[in-house]
Chain A
Amino acid sequence: MFKIFKAFVKKEVYHILRDRRTLLILFGMPIAQILIFGYAVTNEFKDAKIDVLDYAKDQSSLQLVQHIQSSGNFLLNRILHSEKEIEAGFKAGTSKLVLVIPESFGADLYGNRPVSLQLIADGSDPNNANTLVQYALAMILDFQKERLKLAENPFQVRVETRMLYNPQLISAYNFVPGTIALILLIISAMLTSLTIAREKEQGTMEILLVSPLPPLLIILGKVAPYAILSFINAVLVLVLGYFVFGVPIIGSLTLLLIICMLYVITALSLGTLISTISKTQQDAMMRSLMGLMIPSMILSGFIFPLASMPVVLQYLGHIIPATYFIAILKGIMLRGVGFNFILFEVSVLLGMTLFFLFMTYKKFKIRLE
């Protein structure tokens, strides 16, 4: 039986190697996706226009504004006079960031009192906004360090940032978990459903069925190569994220890889389930695109935060495996949480997988109808 299985996998490998399109999806897409998302958020910038709402209008506030401009990253656009003017700049697109300096700035800075500043960014372009805020923060801290040499203020400058339009800003780090979730889904689910549908379309499924091959072996032989490939891809994305973009893996790597494997199985079972109801490749493609890809991209919290969606969509988001997987990944990678903290998400994922596997087993036909 193992020999048959091996022959099956070998055949599948030939199919993959000889089909440029599959190869491109397999290896081109993860790399392209992570690079696009990654570079979109870490782009260097110069002369970003900022507005300043200066209530203090004293020497120290002037010094702060000058200091912020000194790196060449920021350029003062306008001095605002009231809070009402803040949005106008965003709406006209003339400014991306507003620095609000309170009236007591100078006095607080030198008077041993907590200093608070406010940064308001245009969250509709979240990646950009995040970068701007990070840079501005760096400049403000730098300014504080310089001043501290002059006056010993035990209090740190407190900067309050506010994102207009997209309060739950997606950070660069979010893209790596999201991309892994999406890529595993595409490769495991879409490609397996496509390859099974192709056998039906070409009529080879007819011959396979009229052979002593047990149906389970057909499924396993089909999905095994893709399981391995998806896993390699997940690792590839992790490596790219870690080395190129410095996305950390704070938690346990072993736990992370085990969860990735679990999710691969979830996606594969979904893929085979789709293939049992699709007759042609086009059919399988449509079903995986509409049924998996698009919901997973939109409703999993990958691109748009789930919390800011209408309740109905939130519910929908909660039946998508990617939602849980992304939550787990973020937990392990970014917050470094252990197994105890992701118990709920893992059990949901496990439950879904068992359900899909059961459905696939139920739906898989030993005949043509």
Chain B
Amino acid sequence: MPENIIQVEGLTKCFGDFTAVDAITFTVKKGEIFGFLGANGAGKTTAMKMLIGLSKPTKGMGSVAGFDIAKNPEKIKKRIGYMSQKFSLYNDLTVKENIRFYGGIYGLDKKRIRSKTQSILKELNLNDVAGTLVAALPLGWKQRLSFAVSMVHDPEIVFLDEPTGGVDPHVRRQFWETIYEAAALGRTIFVTTHYMDEAEYCDRVSIMVSGKIEALDTPENLKHQFKAKTMDEVFLKLAR
């Protein structure tokens, strides 16, 4: 029985009268690819911000990588990777400079930064463009580099916030292969997205509708449960 890397109980966030996240409860197992789904404005981002220590919960409790999200947000930040939808890479820095920069802010020592830079460049096949400005890279490469950079400090869990904004079928597949690879190395992946078909790539998914988690299971079971052919249909049935 693998341990739970994320454990959340009755997590709630209110902004004034408005309850953005309404008592959600779920767990994410170590090494799992967990899809956190919902339409825009369903509360996904707010919930994720609480998990990564950027926002304090109004009620409820949760732990990430063994630390309490309300009490130890700083410790959590050191143990997680985060990639936002607008890749956090600097367009006016080169590929190499970006990797070094992020290695630096996560407090890696010089030797580690050097070896990490080399291994990322090699794994992503970016050696030829190491000195190229990130701005000049194709979208798919940027995305994978951004993902690699978010793991520069070898976090146990990586949070991906709406990672596949562009829906180029090639780019998307390349990216999922990279995610699979990271998961195969034992990393937990937590993906938020509003693209329901993205869900099919995850081990388990939760679907949020107006602040509540309305469904949580493997994509296959959900499709079975809702008698739907695709996750899109599952969502449509849930939302209506």
Direct touching of A and B (C-beta under 8 Å): no
Please give the residue numbers on chain B whose beta carbons come within 8 Å of chain A beta carbons, in ascending order. none
